[in-house]
Amino acid sequence: MKRFIAAACTAAFFISAGCSAVLPTEGVKNAGYSESTTAAEESGGYVPMNYPRQVGMWLPYVKFPEYMQGKSEEDFRKGAAEILEDAAADGVNTVYFHVHPSGDAYYTSSIYPKGEFLDGNYDPLAIIIEEAHNRGISVHAWINPLRLQTAEQMERVPDSFIVKKWVNAGMPYVKNVNGRWYLDPAYPETVEFLGDTVREITDNYNVDGVHIDDYFYPTTSADFDSEAFVQSGASDLAAWRTENVSRFVKKLYDTVKEKDDRLLFGISPQGNIRADYETQYADVKKWGSESGFCDYIVPQIYYGFENETMPFLPTLEQWTELVRGSDVSLIIGLAAYKLGREDKWAGSSAELEWINDPDIINKQIAAVTASEADGYALYY
C-alpha cells in the first residue's frame, strides 16, 4: 500500500516538500476483532473475521493487468502478499477484492466465464483470502451485480454461459447500453441469478462479507425497460426502478445471511445522495436506516474540502445523519487516487486542491475519525 500512496503523491511531490498521506497505525491495526483463528478451528468451521471499526481498501479489477495478467500463480501470490503486508502495516483491516466486475469471475465459478485478465490456471480469490487472513485482514468479495461484458467480449465467452444464451435468444433480462450488456433488475429471473452469484461465492470460499458498489441502473432512458414497466402497471418510472434495485439488494443481503448471519453485506454508493436517486435509483436512505438491506454503507465521498457543489465536511454530515439511529455502520470512502491530480469536476476554485494540499487525505481521515462514522476505506 505504501507504494500506492507514493504513486498517488508523485505529482504532488513537485509542488510541496513531500507527501504525508500515510495511514495512521496507532490503535487501528486489528482493533476490535474478537474471534480468533484458533476458535474457528476448534468449532470445526470458519468464523468470519470482521471489525467494528473498519479501515478498508479496495482492490479493483482495473489494477488486475498489473497484478495478474501474464503472471504465474507464484507471481500473483508474491504480489498479493506484498500488497497485503503493506496494507496490514498501515492499519488496514478489511479489503474489498473485485471478484466479479463484469459478468466474469476471478474465482472458480460454474456460472461465469473466467475474467479476461486472468490468463493463468489459479484462483485469485483463494490466494487473496489465504494471504489476507494470515495477516488478520478481513476479505469481502466485491461484485458488480448488473454490469456484464461488452458486446465484443460477449462474442468471445462460451455459448454455455447463461447470459449469452439470454442474449442470443433475445430475452428481455439483459439490455445493451452503449455497447455493454447489463442485467435488467425488473425481472425475477435476474434477481434469482444474482442470488445464485452470491451463493456460489459464500458456499465455496471463507469470505468475511460481500460488497457491491455504485453500478445500479446504467441509464435514465425510458427505453431501457419500457416493456417491463408497462407490464408492471406502475405509473412512476423512477419509483418503480428504485423498488427494483432495493429488491435485488435485499436478495443479496438475504443470501449472504442464509449462509452465515455473521457474514457482512456492504454497499458503496456514490457520495451525492441526490444523484443516487436521480441517476441510479439507489434508495440509500432506506438502506441506511432500515434493517434487512446492508450491514454497512460506504459512500464514496470523493470530494475535497473546497469542492463547490459537494464539499467534504457537509457531505460527511449528510451521510452521518442518514444512518443516525440505525444499526447500519457508516464507512467513509476516500479518494486517495486523486492525490496530485486536477479535479475538473470540483469547480474552478477547487480544481487544484488535490495538488496544492498533499495532506488532504490525512485531514479527511482526521475528520472521519472525529465524526460518528465507523471507519473509512481508501480507493487508490
Q: How confident is the model at residue 21 (pLDDT cuts 50, 70, 90)?
A: very low
* Higher pLDDT pick, 24 / 73: 73
At residue 45, the pLDDT reads 85
Query: pLDDT tens for residues 129-149?
Result: 999 999 999 999 999 999 999
**What are the strands of the beta sheet with 147-150, ordered from one edge?**
147-150, 180-183, 174-177
At residue 17, the pLDDT reads 32
At residue 203, the pLDDT reads 98
Overall average pLDDT of the 303-313 stretch: 98
At residue 28, the pLDDT reads 36
Which residues constitute the domain of residue 187? 2-378
Residue 32 pLDDT exceeds 90 = no
DSSP string of 154-219, one letter each residue? HHHS-TTSHHHHHHHHT-TTEEEETTEEEE-TTSHHHHHHHHHHHHHHHHHS--SEEEE-S---S-
Q: How confident is the model at residue 9 (pLDDT cuts 50, 70, 90)?
A: very low
Radius of gyration of the chain (CA): 21
SS3 121: coil
Overall average pLDDT of the 27-36 stretch: 39
Residue 366 pLDDT exceeds 60 = yes
At residue 48, the pLDDT reads 97
- Report the distance separating Cα 228 and Cα 238, nearest Å: 13
Residue 2 pLDDT exceeds 60 = no
At residue 24, the pLDDT reads 38
Strand partners, 333: 300, 377
- Report the distance separating Cα 193 and Cα 67, nearest Å: 29
In the numeric block, which cell numbers belong to residue 50?
470482521
Q: How confident is the model at residue 329 (pLDDT cuts 50, 70, 90)?
A: very high
230 by Cβ neighbours in 10 Å (0-12 / 13-18 / 19+) ranks as: exposed
Query: pLDDT tens for residues 162-200?
Result: 999 999 999 999 999 999 999 999 999 999 999 999 999
Residue 221 pLDDT exceeds 50 = yes
Neighbouring CB atoms inside 10 A of 298's CB total 30
Percent of the chain with pLDDT over 70: 88
Given a contact cutoff of 8 angstroms between Cβ atoms, the answer to whether 283 and 250 are in contact is no
∠368-370-373 over CA atoms, to 5°?
50
Domain count, the chain: 1
- Report the distance separating Cα 334 and Cα 3, nearest Å: 17
Helix intervals (H) in the chain: 2-13, 37-43, 64-67, 73-89, 124-133, 151-156, 162-169, 188-204, 226-232, 237-259, 273-280, 284-289, 312-323, 353-356, 360-370
Residue 22 pLDDT exceeds 80 = no
* Higher pLDDT pick, 34 / 130: 130
- Cα torsion at 95, 212, 266, 269 (round to 10°)? 110
In the numeric block, which cell numbers belong to residue 7?
504513486
Which H/E stretch holds residue 97?
A: strand 94-100
Sign of the torsion formed by the C-alpha atoms of 145, 151, 156 and 162: positive
> What's the whole-number average pLDDT of the chain?
91
Q: Assign residue 326 the CATH number of its domain.
A: 3.20.20.80
Distances (CA, A) of 12 to 18, 86, 342, 378: 7, 22, 10, 18
225 residue type, one letter? D
Residue 3 pLDDT exceeds 60 = no
